[in-house]
């Protein structure tokens, strides 16, 4: 039975509205909490006292996600604050990569979307911690100077104790400045409610625009892509994991709502592919590349993408061995 193009587009438009109306309240909750966290702005000496242990550091960072729940777009600015404030790199990376999944809102929306799949409620946070830990260990191989952007590194060194940074590395803040103007010390007065409001409003609209694009793409894929095509890809164990990883890169939807998008494909794909979709998107996707560029140099970004892809593929494969 073939339906004409107009009918198809009508259906796609309805799917788009369904996805959008479902996701917008969750996006709003995320933005509200991120704004509140901004109000009680994190900063100060406690950042430098976070553990620097290669394993305990990222785990602590991941646990911070419960205190500062935001989806991955809200996370990048917070992770930058952590790095500038002098927090250990591993801890900040653990937060950056795991917190988009390891927070109450994302877990609640995953549960709302998949009430009949309790294993996912455990596997998603666990997988996210594994990926974050793996990436934090992997990125330790790069020296800080190759990993982080130069401007970020300079600000960071201002906040590190002198004993841990050599005089040659520290270009500003001591006698013998470079000719560049020293970056101003990040003075962080508590923002006024008006600033918080403005920031929150802008963030909501920014993210809503990305959400609209993601929902539109998802609706078009759902309505126009022949079902046999998705089924053929979706039932092959390895191919389905790779295909859904690519899809999560392209869709670039926030972690607080991606579970609802995954629902649309969930019936046609393997469980490993479903988990891979839910794990990879929060760590890296097309929309995030720009945001992560605020933190990493090219090499760091490349290593993050490759490492995340490999780890998620392995986890997806393993889940397929276990669940199929």
Partner 1 sequence: MRGVALALWAVVLRQSSVDGRLDLLLRAAFHPLVSAAGGVLLILAVAQVLAGLRSWGDEPDRASRQDRRLSAATAAIAALVIALPPNPSFADLASQRPADDTASETLSFVLPPAQRSLTDWVRMLRSQPDPQLFDGDPVRISGFVLPKPDGPPQLARLLVRCCLADATPVGLPVRWPAGDSLPRADQWLAIEGRMAVEDRRLVVVPERIQPIPRPARPLEP
Stretch that binds partner 1, among 63-71, 150-158, 219-227, 305-313 (CB under 8 A): 219-227
Site membership for partner 1, residue 32 (CB under 8 A): yes
Does the footprint of partner 1 cover residue 3 (CB under 8 A)? Answer: yes
Q: Which residues, listed in sequence order, are joined to residue 148 by a DSSP beta bridge?
A: 296
At closest approach, how far in Å is the CB of 259 from partner 1?
A: 9
**In this chain, which stretch among 13-21, 243-251, 274-282, 308-316 interacts with partner 1, using CB under 8 A?**
13-21
Q: Hey, which residues between 191 and 210 contact partner 1 (CB under 8 A)?
A: 194, 197-198, 200-202, 204-206, 208-209
Using the contact rule CB under 8 A, the part of the chain among 26-34, 45-53, 140-148, 311-319 near partner 1 is 26-34
Q: State the nearest-atom distance from the C-beta of 144 to partner 1, in Å.
A: 30
Can you tell me the distance from the alpha carbon of 160 to that of 164, in angstroms, rounded to the nearest whole number?
A: 7
Residue span binding partner 1 (CB under 8 A) among the ranges 19-27, 147-155, 271-279, 291-299: 19-27
Cα(135)–Cα(123) distance, rounded to whole angstroms? 18
Smaller CB distance to partner 1: residue 1 or 45?
A: 1
Binding of residue 137 to partner 1 (CB under 8 A): no
Q: How far apart are CA 237 and CA 272, in angstroms?
A: 8
Supply 21's token pair. 């109306």
10 binds partner 1 (CB under 8 A): yes
Part of the chain binding partner 1 (CB under 8 A), chosen from 120-128, 155-163, 178-186, 263-271 = 263-271
Q: Which is nearer to partner 1, 52 or 108 (CB)?
A: 108
Q: Does 188 bind partner 1 (CB under 8 A)?
A: no
Q: What is the 3-state secondary structure (H, E, C) of the chain?
A: CCCCHHHHHHHHHHHHHHHHHHHHHHHHHHHHHHHHHHHCCCCCHHHHHCCCCCCHHHHHHHHHCCCCCCCHHHHHHHHHHHHHCCCCHHHHHHHHHHCCCCCHHHHHHHHHHCCCCHHHHHHHHHHHHHHHHHHHHHHCCCCHHHHECHHHHHHHHHCCCHHHCCCCCCCCCCCCCCCCCCCCCCCCCCCCHHHHHHHHHHHHHHHHHHHHHHHHHHHHHHHHCCHHHHHHHHCCHHHHHHHHHHHHHHHCCCCCCHHHHHHHHHCCCCHHHHHHHHHHHHHCCHHHHHHHCCCECHHHHHHHHHHHHHHHHHHHHHHHHHHC
Binding to partner 1 by CB under 8 A, coded x per residue (else -) over 101-130, reads -----------xx-xx--------------
Count of residues that bind partner 1 according to CB under 8 A: 49
List the one residue from 22, 42, 238, 314 that touches partner 1 (CB under 8 A).
Answer: 22
Q: Which is nearer to partner 1, 34 or 136 (CB)?
A: 34
Residues at the interface with partner 1 (CB under 8 A):
1, 3, 7-8, 10-11, 13-15, 17-22, 24-25, 28-29, 32, 112-113, 115-116, 194, 197-198, 200-202, 204-206, 208-209, 212, 218-219, 222-223, 227, 231, 260-261, 263-264, 266-268
């Amino acid at each position: 039975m073939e339906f004409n193009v107009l009918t198809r587009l009508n259906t796609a438009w309805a799917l788009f509205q369904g996805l959008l109306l479902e996701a917008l309240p969750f996006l709003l909750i995320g933005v509200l909490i991120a704004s509140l966290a901004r109000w009680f702005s994190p900063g100060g000496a406690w950042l430098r006292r976070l553990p620097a242990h290669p394993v305990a550091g990222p785990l602590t960072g991941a646990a911070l996600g419960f205190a500062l729940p935001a989806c991955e777009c809200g996370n990048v600015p917070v992770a930058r604050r952590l790095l500038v404030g002098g927090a250990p790199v591993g801890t900040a990376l653990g937060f950056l990569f795991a917190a988009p999944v390891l927070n109450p809102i994302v877990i609640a929306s995953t549960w709302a979307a998949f009430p009949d799949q309790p294993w996912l409620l455990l596997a998603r946070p666990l997988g996210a911690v594994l990926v974050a830990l793996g990436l934090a260990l992997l990125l330790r191989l790069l020296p800080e100077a190759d990993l982080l952007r130069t401007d970020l590194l300079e600000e960071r060194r201002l906040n590190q104790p002198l004993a841990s940074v050599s005089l040659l590395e520290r270009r500003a803040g001591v006698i013998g400045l470079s000719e560049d103007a020293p970056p101003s010390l990040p003075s962080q007065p508590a923002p006024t409610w008006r600033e918080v409001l403005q920031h929150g409003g802008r963030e909501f609209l920014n993210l809503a625009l990305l959400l609209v694009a993601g929902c539109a793409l998802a609706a078009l894929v759902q309505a126009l892509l022949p079902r046999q095509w998705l089924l053929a890809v979706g039932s092959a164990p390895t191919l389905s994991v790779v295909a859904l990883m690519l899809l999560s890169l392209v869709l670039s939807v926030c972690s607080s709502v991606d579970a609802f998008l995954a629902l649309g494909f969930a019936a046609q794909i393997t469980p490993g592919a479903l988990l891979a979709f839910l794990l990879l998107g929060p760590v890296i996707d097309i929309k995030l590349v720009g945001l992560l560029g605020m933190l990493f140099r090219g090499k760091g970004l490349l290593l993050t993408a490759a490492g995340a892809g490999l780890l998620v593929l392995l986890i997806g494969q393993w889940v397929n061995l276990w669940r199929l």
